[in-house]
Amino acid sequence: MARALVHMQATARRGEVIGIRALIGHPMETGYRPGADGKVLERDIIRRFTCRYNGEIVFSAELHQAIAANPYIAFYTVAVESGSLEFKWEGDRGFVQAETMPITVTG
């Protein structure tokens, strides 16, 4: 299980644009590098990142080998209602990880 970190504010006013920073520990092996034994290491990257706000997709990303190890993605969303944001990373070798952050919307 990789370590995932999501930074965002826990409370917001209705209609406020909130910044979200998502980071996950992953080597993002390109499939072009030789390993210690001289053989090319098999590709192992995160292909897809999705952010759902109370079940609805508000942001997603398709990642390639050119994304640095430990992928960091920062983006924005509008706080519309209280509930939770679900973050999901999916990749090669059946890699799946999800993280959930609660949000309280006032006003």
Partner 1 sequence: MTAIDKLDRSRRKALAGLGALLLVPVGPACATPEKMAAAIDAFTGAATPRRGGITLEVASLVDNGNTVPITVRVDSPMTAIDHVAAIAVFNERNPETGVAVFTLGARAGKAEVSTRIRMATSQKLVAVARMSDGSFRIHSADVVVALAACIEGEA
CB 96, min distance to partner 1, A: 19
Q: Which of 34, 55, 94, 107 binds partner 1 (CB under 8 A)?
A: 34
Q: Is 69 in the site for partner 1 (CB under 8 A)?
A: yes
**First and final C-alpha spacing in the chain:** 38
Nearer to partner 1, 73 or 99 (CB): 73
Q: Measuring CA to CA, how many Å separate 20 from each of 7, 43, 65?
A: 6, 28, 23
Catalog residues that contact partner 1 under the rule CB under 8 A. Answer: 17-18, 30, 32-36, 38, 53, 56-69, 71-78, 80
